[in-house]
Chains A and B, each alone.
Chain A
């Protein structure tokens, strides 16, 4: 336990010593927030066919939970597996193993650091959205925090699985970025699901992102998330089990 705390804290410091990564992970979601909220505005809209889109709220408000999930995904699905695979590639994990660092400590530190960084980014983004851009504040802030943390753990476990399976930092980064764009476009931060074709809607609903967004929306918009709760928890458990089973030190 002492080692988990030390390794997690060390990982935080290592992250902060890498200014480009810090800038990238903090700035990207904010840029997306500004551009997309400028494009869509915050008035309640209907489609050309008269259907209600954005679940009946203003687009900008609708998208906030999606951006929060996106922040979690960028830290957990891109950075986490890239760092983990890179550490394995360079022999860092072998060094840890030879000194008796348990798997759960390596995995736990990676997950905790990612969730903490994602939470920090999400907090920044939320404050900016509510205070300076004047979006609707969350209905239930505590539920937003809880659902966000749950979603972040779910993505982190998924990232851990990617990092466990993919052999090099390069391949992990490539796969992570590709997945992140799919999640971005289809999972709820892109066009509203109502305007997608039925095939694309199906694919969108298969992504963990879509469900993570619905869960966070339950806190922010007060709308039900139903089965999405089970999907998010399911992804968390299945990924964690898979990652620990497939973990390779070298």
Chain B
């Protein structure tokens, strides 16, 4: 299937400063595609090139088969953009903004529906300037969706939201995906990328340093599964012989086994074999955060 977005050797400089260097990736229709990276890595510049907000200095970019540099007007009717840094006039009301932006695209969605979906109904007549950071974010996402786009770009959309509001936003992103809309999600929250994204590009120092599903990234770069339990056994050296185990640490009666693959099941089975049935066995799976820290040298 033809990719919705294809980026080949994208380069962007601001005068002498390189913002994006040789970035390539493709996004399939219906995918939630994450762009994850530390601040200043070039994430926002990449999506602004895709949205036709920046001229590119090298490479080739296609979104929905269009060149964002040349066909920006046609493209913007078919994409939605929640920008990281933007604003509305202080005194514009929520409904006025939705009404205004929905007038841009014939055949878009009913803005009332979008307003209800994003929990803005009770703020309908509030001025933009009187909204909280989270409410402003939700309004921007609603504005990005009001033209019923085929691709939506969400740039740090949960920044400034409290934890409960973030969970709500995650559900809404899943709903956007369920409508068949392709989502490009720029974030620096690991849990967000891990929970929501089908695939993640990890960007650091202006380049994509790896790209895959969160699960495969974790397997590839993760520090391994940690299994911890307490035991009355004096000697646990035999655990090193269990398949998949990389290391065994002991602190008093507490033992931690680090390994990969089906290590949890095998360790548990061999404990049971020796008549040990620890009640407090805990498993810590590696997360995307471990991968990210390992790949980017831990600078967030």
Contacts and interface: CB of A to CB of B under 8 A. Distances in A.
B92 interface: yes
Contacts of B87: 90-92, 95
Interface in B93-146: 96, 99-101, 103-105, 127, 140, 143-144
Interface string A1-45: 011001100100110011000000000000000000000000000
A101 to B, nearest CB: 6
A7 B99 CA distance: 10
A14 B105 contact: no
A50 interface: no
A170 interface: no
Nearest to A250: B53
Contacts of A49: none
A99 B76 contact: yes
B246 interface: no
A10 B92 contact: yes
Contacts of B85: 91, 94
Contacts, number: 62
| Chain B contact surface mostly | loop
A92 B77 contact: no
B151 to A, nearest CB: 13
B15 interface: no
A22 to B, nearest CB: 12
A98 B53 contact: yes
Contacts of A97: 53
B4 interface: no
B206 interface: no
Contacts of A95: 83, 86-88, 140, 143
A99 B101 contact: yes
Interface string B160-177: 000000000000000000
Interface residues on A, range: 20 to 34
B158 interface: no
B104 A92 contact: no
Nearest to A16: B91
Nearest to B48: A98
Contacts of A3: 100, 103-104
Nearest to B128: A92
B51 interface: yes
Contacts of A18: 91
A14 B143 CA distance: 19
B92 to A, nearest CB: 6
B81 interface: yes
A182 B101 CA distance: 39
Interface string A85-126: 001001110110111111000000000000000000000000
A101 B53 CA distance: 13
A114 to B, nearest CB: 15
A91 B88 CA distance: 7
Nearest to A86: B89
Given A3-B104, A95-B86, A102-B73, 7 more contacts: A3-B103, A91-B87, A92-B87, A94-B85, A95-B140, A98-B53, A100-B77
18 contacts: A3-B104, A10-B89, A10-B92, A10-B96, A14-B92, A17-B91, A90-B87, A94-B83, A95-B83, A95-B88, A95-B143, A98-B83, A99-B81, A99-B101, A100-B73, A100-B77, A100-B104, A100-B147
